[in-house]
Amino acid sequence: MANRNSDPIFQLIKSLTKSEKRYFKLYVTRMKGAEDALFIKLFDLIDKQKDYDENKILEKEKTIKSQQLSNLKAHLHRQILKSLRSFNSDEDIEIRIRELLDHSTILYNKCLYDQCVKTLEKARQLAETNEKNFLLFEVIELEKRLVTKFIRTNIEDKVSEIIKSSDQIKEKISNISTFSNLTIKLYSFYLKIGFLRNHQDFELVNSFLYSTLPVFQEDKLSFDEKMYLYNSFVGYYFFIQDFERGYEYAKKWVALFDEHPRLIPAKTEQYIKAINNLLVSQSKLFKYDEFIATTQKLEAIKDNTEVKLTENIRLQLFKYLSTHKINRYFLLGEFTEGSKIIPEIAESLEKYEDLLDTHYITIFYYKFACMYFGDDNYHKTVFWLNKIINMKDVDIRSDIHSFARILNLICHYELGNFDLVDYYLRSTYRFLIKKNDLHAFQKIILRFVRKLSSITRDQLTDAFKDLREQLLPLNEKFYERRPFIYFDIISWLESKIENRNNQEIIREKVLRKISSNQ
C-alpha cells in the first residue's frame, strides 16, 4: 500500500483552503445518503493526517475495506474536483465560459434552441472580452450546429457572420499555436544548454525561428497573438545573449498589458512572465531605476483585488519576486547585504521545492552560491554548489552544472583544500567533455588551476595577471563571452592582483554601469 505524501488524493486534500473544505462538505452532503458515505469518512481521515498512511486509515475505519480503498479514493478525488469547479465558477473566467458551454450543450440536446442561443451569446461575449480564443472557437463551432436548426429569413446573414468569425478565429489560433510552439521549443533549447554556446547553436535556433514564423503584420495581430509573439522573441534574443533586443520585446509585452489592464485578471500568469522577462533584461543591462519600478509592478499584483491568487499564482510570485530580490543585490554588487536574505529565501524554497521544476531549483542554488562567493564566504558557496553537483538530472541546465564545477574548484583553492582541487579538476574536465562544453574559457581556467600547485607565492600575482590577459579578449568574442554571464572571474582576478576585496571591485564596476545606463 502507498505510504507516501506523494499520493494524489493526499496532496489534493492538503492543497484545499478552509473555505474550500467547508464548501466540499456542503457540496457533497446535498447528495442522497451522503451523510453516511464512506468517501466523506475517508476525506476526514486523510484531512487529519500529517503523513499519508493507508494502514492507519483502515485501522480507524473498519467499514472501509482494503480492496475497496482504491475505488473509494478515485471517487473522492472526482467529488473534490467537482466541488472545486463549482466553488471557482464565479471567479475563474475559463470555468465560467466552459460552464456556459456545458449548459448550451445540454439545452441543445433537449431541443431548447432559443435558450441555447442566449446561453451561447453570454459565452461568446465572455470569451471575446477576455481573449479566450480557444474557447471562442468552441462557441462558434456550436453556433454552426445550432444555426441549421432554424429556418429564418435572415439565415444567410447569420451564416455569413458565423463563417467570417470562424475564419478569423482559426487564423488567430493558428498564429497563437505557432508562436507558443516556438516559445516552448526555444525554452527546451535553453533548458538543455543555457545561453548560446557556438555558431552551430546559433544556426540551429535561428533557422528554426525564421522557418517557423508565419507571415504577419504586427499591428494587425490580436492581443493573444502579440503576447505569444513577444514571448517567443524574448526567448530567442535572451538565448543568443542579445539582451538589448530582448529588452525591447519584453517592454512591448508588458506595455501590451498596460494598454489592456482589464485582461490582467484573466491572464495573470502571462502578465507575471512578461514582468519577469523585463526584469531579467533590465538587470542584465544595469537599468537600475527601471528595475526598481518594474519590481514594484510585480509586487503590486499581490494587492490587485481583481486578481485571484491561486496557489499557482502564489508560486509564480514567490519564484520571481525572490529571484529579483536576489538580483537587486547582484545589480548593486552588495553581496554582504544580499547574503543576509538567502536563509529566509532558502527556507521558503523548501516549502515550494516539490512544486518547483528542477530548472528553477538549480537557478536558486546557483544564485545562492554566487551571492556567498561575492561575500568571500567560500564554505557556504561550496555548500550550495554541492547541491547542484550532486543533482541526479544534469541534463537540465548543463551550463549551470558546468560553471558550478568551475566555481567549486576556485572555492577549494581559496579554502586551501589543495588535495581536493586535483580531484575536482579531473572530474570537472570529464564532465565538460561529456557535455560538449569545453570551450576556450574552460580550457584556460583548467590549465591555470592545474598549474597552481607548482606556482610559488611570489609568482601568484603574475600568474593571475597572465590569466586575466588571456580571458579579457574572450569577453569581446560573440561565442566566447557566454561564461562571463555566469561568473565575474575578471573581478575575482583583479581582487587577487590588487589585493582588494572582490565585492569592492565588483561594486565599483556595477555602479559605473548603472550610472552610464540611467
**C-alpha grid cell for residue 99?**
460552464
Around Cβ 151, how many Cβ atoms within 10 Å?
Answer: 6
114 exposure class (CB count in 10 Å sphere: 0-12, 13-18, 19+) = exposed
* Last residue of one domain, picked from the residues 87, 114, 147: 87
| CA dist., res. 336 & res. 379, Å (int) | 15
Helix residue ranges, H only, 453-488: 457-471, 483-486
Residue appearing with cell numbers 515550494: 352
Helix residue ranges, H only, 285-357: 288-300, 311-332, 335-339, 342-352
- Total domains present in the chain: 2
Domain that holds residue 62: 8-87
* Last residue of one domain, picked from the residues 31, 66, 87: 87
Instruction: Tell me if 506 is assigned to some domain.
Output: yes
User: What 3 state SS string does 38-74 have?
Assistant: HHHHHHHHHHHCCCCCHHHHHHHCCCCCHHHHHHHHH
Better-predicted residue by pLDDT, 447 or 308: 308
Mean pLDDT for the stretch of residues 416-423: 80
pLDDT for 518:
64
| CA dist., res. 329 & res. 336, Å (int) | 9
Mean pLDDT is highest, among 124-138, 405-419, 443-457, for: 124-138
Instruction: Tell me if 466 is assigned to some domain.
Output: yes
| CA dist., res. 404 & res. 364, Å (int) | 12
Q: In this predicted model, what pLDDT tens digit does every residue of 126-148 receive, in sequence order?
A: 999 999 999 999 999 999 988 87
Rg (C-alpha) for the chain, rounded Å, is: 28
The CATH number of whichever domain residue 374 belongs to comes to: 1.25.40
Count, residues in the chain: 518
Residue appearing with cell numbers 489592456: 260
pLDDT for 74:
92
Q: Flag the least confident range among 112-116, 396-400, 505-509, 513-517.
A: 396-400
* Last residue of one domain, picked from the residues 67, 87, 107: 87
| CA dist., res. 143 & res. 159, Å (int) | 9
Q: pLDDT grade, residue 35 (50/70/90)?
A: very low
Contact predicate 487/403, CB 8 Å: yes
pLDDT for 353:
80
Mean pLDDT for the stretch of residues 314-338: 94
Amino acid at 152: R
Contact predicate 47/13, CB 8 Å: yes
Instruction: Tell me if 57 is assigned to some domain.
Output: yes
| CA dist., res. 405 & res. 6, Å (int) | 32
**C-alpha grid cell for residue 231?**
514571448
Name which of 385, 325, 391 is nearest 353 in CA terms: 391
pLDDT for 3:
42
Question: 408 vs 58, 122, 231, 389, 503, CA distance in Å?
Answer: 50, 60, 34, 9, 18
Residue appearing with cell numbers 545573449: 241
Mean pLDDT for the stretch of residues 60-79: 89
Q: Flag the least confident range among 208-217, 254-263, 473-482.
A: 473-482
Mean pLDDT for the stretch of residues 391-404: 76
Helix residue ranges, H only, 333-454: 335-339, 342-352, 358-374, 378-389, 398-414, 418-434, 440-452
**C-alpha grid cell for residue 60?**
480507524
| CA dist., res. 453 & res. 411, Å (int) | 15
Instruction: Tell me if 464 is assigned to some domain.
Output: yes
Name which of 480, 485, 505 is nearest 494 in CA terms: 505
Better-predicted residue by pLDDT, 452 or 39: 39
pLDDT for 256:
97
Residue 2 clears pLDDT 60, i.e. is over it: no
pLDDT for 250:
97
Contact predicate 272/314, CB 8 Å: no
Mean pLDDT for the stretch of residues 184-198: 75
Q: Beta-strand (E) ranges in 174-252? A: none
pLDDT for 1:
38
Q: Whole-number mean pLDDT of the chain? A: 87
- 3-state secondary structure at position 190: helix
Mean pLDDT for the stretch of residues 345-370: 89
| CA dist., res. 107 & res. 119, Å (int) | 9
Q: In this predicted model, what pLDDT tens digit does every residue of 203-241 receive, in sequence order?
A: 888 888 888 888 889 999 999 999 999 999 999 898 888
pLDDT for 438:
66
Instruction: Tell me if 154 is assigned to some domain.
Output: no
The DSSP symbol for 242 reads -
Instruction: Tell me if 69 is assigned to some domain.
Output: yes
> Which residues fall within 8 angstroms of residue 122, CB to CB, at 6 or more apart?
100
Instruction: Tell me if 502 is assigned to some domain.
Output: yes
Instruction: Tell me if 186 is assigned to some domain.
Output: no
Better-predicted residue by pLDDT, 98 or 515: 98
Mean pLDDT for the stretch of residues 259-272: 95
Mean pLDDT for the stretch of residues 30-58: 82
Q: Look up the pTM and report it.
A: 0.84
By percentage, how much of the chain surpasses pLDDT 70? 94
Residue appearing with cell numbers 478525488: 77
Name which of 249, 224, 210, 239 is nearest 171 in CA terms: 224
